[in-house]
């Protein structure tokens, strides 16, 4: 018998981690109220978790994109050229600044990526 630590349960993970996981698997924007309902907490607590995530992401390659009371993960807009090259879009099209900002959402919404039931 090994003394390996047990994996944390969802309740043992931080609210930030739980919010991040839901945003990661969502193919579109998620409302703050929907997150609060699913995670059984208040919208204010979700807002605090999002503020913490925004602070964490400030020096990373992803960002939170807000619109009204909904939110989604996206890549940092300053990395748009890298994302375009990676997705092979550089040769085929020129994207506006607005498209560059939304590009990651389109690039990451593949069925394999977002189906948590998929077995590998």
pLDDT at 89: 76
Whether residue 107 lies inside any domain: the answer is yes
Question: How confident is the model over 54-85, as pLDDT tens digits?
Answer: 999 999 999 999 998 899 999 999 999 999 99
Whether residue 116 lies inside any domain: the answer is no
pLDDT at 2: 57
The percentage of the chain sitting over the pLDDT mark of 70, rounded to a whole number, equals 68
CB 74 within 8 A of CB 102: yes
Which domain CATH number covers 75?
A: 1.10.10.10
What range does the domain containing 68 cover?
15-111
């Amino acid at each position: 018998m090994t003394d390996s630590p047990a994996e944390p349960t969802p309740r043992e993970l931080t609210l930030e981690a739980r919010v991040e996981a839901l945003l990661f698997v969502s193919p579109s924007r998620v409302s703050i109220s929907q997150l609060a309902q699913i995670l059984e907490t208040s919208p204010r607590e979700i807002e605090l978790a999002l503020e913490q995530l925004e602070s964490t992401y400030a020096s990373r390659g992803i960002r939170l994109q807000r619109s009204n009371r909904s939110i989604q993960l996206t890549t940092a807009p300053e990395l748009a050229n890298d994302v375009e090259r990676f997705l092979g879009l550089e040769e085929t099209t020129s994207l506006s600044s607005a498209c560059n900002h939304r590009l990651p959402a389109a690039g990451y919404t593949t069925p394999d990526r977002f189906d948590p039931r998929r077995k590998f």
